Amino acid sequence: MTAAPAAPKARRQRHDREIITLAVPAFGALVAEPLFVMVDSAIVGHLGTPQLAGLAVASALLMTAVSIFVFLAYATTAAVARRVGAGDLAAAIRQGMDGIWLALLLGVAVIAVTLPTAPWLVQLFGASDTAAPYATTYLRISSLGIPAMLIVLAATGVLRGLQDTRTPLYVAIGGFAANAALNVALVYGAGFGIAGSAWGTVIAQCAMAAAYLVVVVRGARRHGASLRPDAAGIRASAQAGVPLLIRTLSLRAVLMIATAVAARLGDTEIAAHQIVLSLWSLMAFALDAIAIAGQAIIGRYLGADDAEGAQQACRRMVQWGVASGVVLGIVIVASRPLLLPLFTTDQAVHSTLLPALLVVAVSQPIAGVVFVLDGVLMGAGDGSYLAGAMLVTLAVFAPVALLIPTFGGGLTALWWAMTLMMTVRMLTLWLRMRSGRWLVTGATR
């Protein structure tokens, strides 16, 4: 009679171990990306407010150029994990190699578009006359590192699908350390200013891509997977990523609209927005560590035809997401006196960003649910639903955000609009999770 309740407890413990094993290293790797931006923001912020405002616009554009292709990591993780669950490691790595070749091709194409259009893109974002030259310089130099960034995304997806989040952690630590050292040396030591910050980031990203390639190539040779580009495989990887591309473009549109609105509020507001956005991104990537675990775990369960295990893991990860969001919100509130001086000494910027930062803190539990369910559905290969849900979210957010300058709501109102966006995402993802329609088993969806 007393043994029956032990089964659910044992399952929870097993899921907890899986989540911790994958999520803790994934957290370190995920936060490297916003930490790159935060280091740049902290170093460039002490050059002056126009430089920080320029960095804000250029960073938003650069992250958009890279992040719209985040499907290289997410779709690859799900596809590789399903094949791992089905017991076919050679096919899993072959799938990943197709993604890496696709990443290289896309990276070259993005450079070709970004370099000649950089001044126009900066102007489109509403950068002031004082900030625009700095934004253009940073964007043009940093765009040279885009192929390396996309290769990092694809190779990371391969390793996550193989249930390895430790290697990405080690590479991320090395990349972050190199980026910080290079930024200080080039910005202040060599006196290159904002251009030095951009070059430091490019060099660090290229080194990270090289490290990933060494690891993936070794794995491919060990399991007998071909390294040659396969046109059919590359096309299949691109087609599988289309729904996630739509989802990501919609999300990036939300962030672009937010930055454009902040830029039109003034240099002080856009500088404050850059700091809040950097911290928001850091919290988002921290929560996404559980989602990354979800992609790998859910994909593996479904590949092994275990729908019940996938459903149980999903429920447990949602609980983890809510708890993590509460903790992160408390950390933001408690650490704000220490955080603000790290980025700028401008008291006007401090006064503007403080209430917006409190809004971010309040919204973290909502974000916890959003990122976990996003990861679960990605792991299930449910990209079509994710695309539609994000388009609905964009349709709700855009008119609210664009009206803020008209009604004089300021930066705090803009971040309440961001909270509305996250709430809509939570509702749409929760409905899908409850329906069970994402539970499709097999080595391929």
Distance CA 83, CA 80 (A): 5
HEC string for the chain: CCCCCHHHHHHHHHHHHHHHHHHHHHHHHHCHHHHHHHHHHHHHHCCCHHHHHHHHHHHHHHHHHHHCCCHHHHHHHHHHHHHHHCCCHHHHHHHHHHHHHHHHHHHHHHHHHHHHHHHHHHHHCCCCCCCHHHHHHHHHHHHHHHHHHHHHHHHHHHHHHCCCCHHHHHHHHHHHHHHHHHHHHHHHHCCCCHHHHHHHHHHHHHHHHHHHHHHHHHHHHHHCCCCCCCHHHHHHHHHHHHHHHHHHHHHHHHHHHHHHHHHHHCHHHHHHHHHHHHHHHHHHHHHHHHHHHHHHHHHHHHHCCCHHHHHHHHHHHHHHHHHHHHHHHHHHHHHHHHHHHHHCCCHHHHHHHHHHHHHHHHCHHHHHHHHHHHHHHHHCCCHHHHHHHHHHHHHHHHHHHHCHHHHCCHHHHHHHHHHHHHHHHHHHHHHHHHHCCCCCCCCCC
Grouped pLDDT means (10 residues each) for the chain, 445 residues: 53 80 81 71 79 82 78 87 86 86 92 89 79 86 90 91 89 88 86 85 92 89 81 82 89 88 83 83 81 90 89 90 92 80 74 85 94 92 93 95 85 92 96 92 78
Distance CA 178, CA 171 (A): 11
CB 375 within 8 A of CB 292: yes
The count of other CB atoms within 10 Å of the CB of residue 230 is 14
Quick one: pLDDT at residue 109? Answer: 92
Quick one: pLDDT at residue 378? Answer: 92
Quick one: pLDDT at residue 246? Answer: 92
Distance CA 341, CA 350 (A): 8
Pull the structure tokens for residue 220.
């491919």
Quick one: pLDDT at residue 396? Answer: 96
Backbone phi and psi for residue 172, each to the nearest 5 degrees, phi listed first: -65, -40
Give me the amino acid identity at 391.
L
* Residues with Cβ within 8 Å of residue 39, at least 6 apart in sequence: 176, 179, 180, 183
Quick one: pLDDT at residue 298? Answer: 92
Distance CA 238, CA 197 (A): 32
Distance CA 330, CA 320 (A): 16
Quick one: pLDDT at residue 102? Answer: 93
CB 168 within 8 A of CB 159: yes
Distance CA 45, CA 36 (A): 14
Question: Measured in Å, how far apart are the chain's first and last C-alpha atoms?
Answer: 41
Burial of 371 (0-12, 13-18, 19+ CB in 10 A): buried
Pull the structure tokens for residue 173.
């630590």
CB 55 within 8 A of CB 131: no
Distance CA 213, CA 224 (A): 16
Q: Among all chains, which residue has been given the structure tokens 């089964």? A: 7
